[in-house]
Structure 1
Amino acid sequence: MEGHCTCGRVRYRLTDRPLFVHACHCTWCQRETGGPHALNAMIETDRIEILADDPVELTTPSASGKGQIVLRCPDCCVALWSHYAGAGRRLAFVRVGTLENPAACPPDIHIFTSTKLPWYVIPEGVPAVPDYYDRRLFWPAESLRRCEAALGR
């Protein structure tokens, strides 16, 4: 899968399938995206290949208080992926909307639905949880294995 920012200066490729895709309905993601949720494809950072130019890193506040490192295009400032304190730089949360074919990454789960906007309807059959969750309950075995390897466990 390949993706890019709006202006096309930064281009990247995912060299493997994402581990899992979150639709996060927390109020922080709503504010950052300007939409009802963020849609992030989690993947090992070493499986992101930069094809053209490098994004810049900015640290923004996060609900955890530990901040979030967001990688953006230096020109159009579109957020391409981020790193959260829990996994550090070993896992990236790729903004699905920056992929050339975002339809290939539908959400595997909706999280923080306790703060979802009341008019947003979660599709039937897609797991949804009020806050965060235990990945062992939802992730495929292969994704769990890859994640544990990336985190050095």
Structure 2
Amino acid sequence: MASAPPDFEALTGHCTCKSITYTLLAPPLVTHCCHCSWCQRETGTAFALNTVIECYNFRITSPTQPTVARNPSLSGIGQLVARCPTCCVAIYSHYSNVTATMFVRAGTLEEGSRQRVRPDVHIFTGAKVEWVDLSKEKERGVKVYEEYYEREDVWSEESMERRKKLLEWVEEQKGAV
């Protein structure tokens, strides 16, 4: 059930050792730059950059499959993190037990694909490190939130329509079981 525009060129990525390769078959729904202290600790850097895509628009293209483990999260619900079994790089997560969307680590995108993905929103900036300056992001129209946001305030109309189709698909899957 891919939902890419006809002129969309797939985004591709891989882990460090290239045992895991993948493709995004549609543009991201949204890309979050999360500055929460949890993401800082988990990534070992100032923020996490996750691009969100429907599960049916994400394909592992390598024979090697990721190892998925439950990690704790700030919400207390936890997250499922998919890592390369060889180099242990995190490729994507599912948050709050929702597997219909994938939070793909934008840093794992290949060079040509990585340049095509930029943050749509900066979240949990109340915890950001003081040396990260978001003034240029604000100038380019990127929304910045101390905590989280209302989806309708950030997501594009196209992404909201795709989300509606995703929710319909999720309901169809429940009926098929």
Q: What is the TM-score with the length of structure 1 in the denominator?
A: 0.95
Task: Describe the SS at the equivalent of 1:104.
Answer: coil
Query: Residues 27-106 of structure 1 correspond to what in structure 2 (within 5 A)?
Result: 27-52=37-62, 53-85=64-96, 88-100=98-110, 101-106=113-118
**How many pairs were matched up?**
152
RMSD: 1.2
Question: Post-superposition shift, 1:45?
Answer: 1.0
Give 2:19's aligned residue.
9
Query: Residues 17-32 of structure 1 correspond to what in structure 2 (within 5 A)?
Result: 17-32=27-42
Percent identity among equivalent residues?
45
Query: Residues 121-140 of structure 1 correspond to what in structure 2 (within 5 A)?
Result: 121-122=133-134, 123=136, 124-125=138-139, 126-140=142-156
| Aligned residue identity for 1:114 | G
Distance in 1 (CA, whole Å) between partners of 2:92 and 2:55 is 10
Question: Post-superposition shift, 1:106?
Answer: 0.8
Give 2:7's aligned residue.
none
Distance in 1 (CA, whole Å) between partners of 2:163 and 2:39 is 23
Instruction: Show CA shifts across 1:75-132 (max 9, x none).
Output: 000000000016x000010000000031211101100001010110112332100000
Which ranges in structure 1 are unaligned for 5 or more consecutive residues?
Answer: none
2:163 paired with 1:147 = yes
Greater helix content? 2
Question: Post-superposition shift, 1:151?
Answer: 2.7
Question: Post-superposition shift, 1:148?
Answer: 2.5
| Aligned residue identity for 2:49 | L
Distance in 2 (CA, whole Å) between partners of 1:142 and 1:130 is 25
Distance in 2 (CA, whole Å) between partners of 1:76 and 1:109 is 29
